[in-house]
Amino acid sequence: MTTQTLSASESYQGQFGEFTITQSDRIGVIIYRAGLMVAALSFAIGSALVLLNNNPTVVTALTPLYACFSLALGVSLFTIHIYMASLHRLLQVFWAIGSISSALLVLFSSESLAITVYNQPLTLFGVGFIFVALTGIYFKEAFCFNRLETKVLTLTVPLLLLGHLVGIVPTQGESILLGIWAILFLVFALRKTVQAIPADIGDKSVFTYLKEQRLAKV
């Protein structure tokens, strides 16, 4: 993508009037997609270490990978365009709860984060919120762009986490679901890199209309 393309402003006709996509809008989308890519790569590397390596020492590498995943996901959640402001804020709150819970476990647990969460499924009531936020992104992308991988991910993530929480998914099944999750997350992030930028910005006239409606109520 050229500098000229990034800096040029383009006007579009939206549902509630004309709007302009600016350089700042485009940069925001690039940051959102970069966050997704870093999160997907961190998650895929961590998953590969778990699934393909029998050496128990690999768990020490999972915590920094998880931290990278969490930070990148946070960046994406703060730059994603979602029409419903309340839903956007809710996903950010979920991410914060999950991240804080994870940090507390790292600080106060005698075992690594991965081992603690795996052996104590109830910790998912805290840590799991970060994956609820991630699933929110999958759902949003599935709803807006009808992507097959995000539809599958929207079902896979809750199935794996809730299945582990209540103990109904066998270990082999969990491994399969984790592998599917890691692969499709990468597919999703890679496909976002070639998607037209205006699609991720959406109809800015809708954002303006909804903001005016909120101000009118106040």
Domain locations in the chain?
20-217
Question: Do 205 and 17 touch, CB atoms closer than 8 A?
Answer: yes
Report the distance separating Cα 204 and Cα 210, nearest Å: 10
Q: How far apart are CA 56 and CA 184, in angstroms?
A: 26
Other beta carbons within 10 Å of 28: 18
User: Is the confidence at residue 14, as pLDDT, over 80?
Assistant: no
Model confidence over 17-75: pLDDT tens digits? 566 778 888 999 999 999 999 999 999 999 999 999 877 778 888 999 999 999 999 99
Length of the chain: 218
Global pTM exceeds 0.85: yes
Section 151-169 average pLDDT: 96
Task: Identify which of 38, 7, 42 has the alpha carbon closest to the alpha carbon of residue 25.
Answer: 7
Nearest CA to 105 out of 95, 97, 116 is that of: 116
Q: Please tell me which of 46-60, 129-143, 200-214 the model is most confident about, judged by mean pLDDT.
A: 129-143
